Structure 1
Amino acid sequence: MTLYHFTILIRDANPSMEQLEDRLFEAGCDDALICFNNQTVYLEFDREATVAKEAVKSAMENIQSAGFYDLVLQESGVSSLAEIAHRTGLTRAAVSNYALGKRAMGFPKPLYGVASGSPLYSWREVANWLYANKKLSKAQFEIANIGW
């Protein structure tokens, strides 16, 4: 069994819902930390499973059994350089140097936000690059490649 860490946003929940924590706990999300950012509810899971897809699928099913259906696997989307640093434990400067080609070549190109100065990258592409360059754990690599 491998311990997988991943985040699921619950877009049809809000922090002021009565007994939100109890509903999620009773549904089987006892291995998740319930977090709030403004009016967004998200769960940070540390779930054991044989494979990554099994871990995420069972977490999604648990949340759905609590009555929530508008779910997003955070690792299936885009990430800023700051978020990439946070997810990997690398410094923001190290990630920026990778993106600029100063420490290694071939870092994925941004998908969005280039004109605004806040580029967003495909987390899957970045995770693949980081894993190939021995900067990301196998469990994180597997979660990024589920394709949810």
Structure 2
Amino acid sequence: MKTFEFSVIASGLDPSADDYESRFYDHGCDDALVSFQKGHTIVDFAREAESISDAISSAVADVVRAGGTINRIEPDPLVSLSDIATRANMSRAVVTQYAKGNRRAAFPAPVARVTTSSPLWEWASVACWLWKEDKLSKADAINAQAVKIANGLVQTGNLELDCVLNDRVREFEHNL
């Protein structure tokens, strides 16, 4: 088994309740750190599982059993050039050159802009590109895609992640 680190962002629980943290522990989140920030419950997992899909699926199920409403899975799917550099263990200057097309072609286009000078990229697309350029491991690209797929399922209200997430991640991995 491998250990996967990620966070489940949830709402719907009162952090002032006496059993706030113990609820998570009692419902299977004994491998997580629970905190409350900016109106959200953050459940930081270091979960052992056969795959990232299994880890995320079981964590989401545990948080739901504890009474949480799932908002999203992190690491954040939208990243800046600095975030990309950190996640890929590269310098910001090198990542900037990739983004400008000066070092390699076909770097993914930004998907959002916080301001006109601060574009954001979809991490799953960038991770796949970096893997194809031999700059990131295949496992990191698969993990990024798994988080993207899981967040898509959460947005549609589908919290029965186990089968669907595993199937979609396997399909992605097969097509890499």
Q: Could you say which TM-score interval applies, normalised by the shorter chain?
A: 0.7 to 0.9
Per the TM alignment, residue 124 of structure 1 is displaced from its structure 2 partner at its CA by 1.2
Higher relative contact order (CA 8 A, sep 6+): 1
Change (3 A) 1:140 1:43: farther
Change (3 A) 1:69 1:40: closer
Higher helix fraction (1 or 2): 2
Map of 1:64 onto structure 2: 64
Q: Which runs of 5+ in 1 are unaligned?
A: none
Percent of aligned pairs with the same residue?
35
List aligned pairs for 1:22-61, cutoff 5 A.
22-61=22-61
Alignment coverage as a number of residue pairs: 148
Per the TM alignment, residue 27 of structure 1 is displaced from its structure 2 partner at its CA by 1.8
Output the amino acid matched with 2:66.
A
Separation in 2 of the partners of 1:17 and 1:45?
Answer: 22
Whether 1:5 aligns to 2:11 is no
Separation in 1 of the partners of 2:88 and 2:11?
Answer: 25
Q: Which runs of 5+ in 2 are unaligned?
A: 151-176
Contact 1:6 1:74 in 2 (8 A): yes
TM-score of the pair, normalised by structure 2? 0.69
Contact 1:4 1:140 in 2 (8 A): no
Q: What is the RMSD computed on CA atoms of the aligned residues?
A: 2.6
Per the TM alignment, residue 15 of structure 1 is displaced from its structure 2 partner at its CA by 5.4
Separation in 1 of the partners of 2:131 and 2:119?
Answer: 21
Separation in 2 of the partners of 1:3 and 1:139?
Answer: 12
Q: Once superposed, which parts of structure 1, at least 4 consecutive aligned residues long, lie more than 6 Å away?
A: none
Map of 2:161 onto structure 1: none
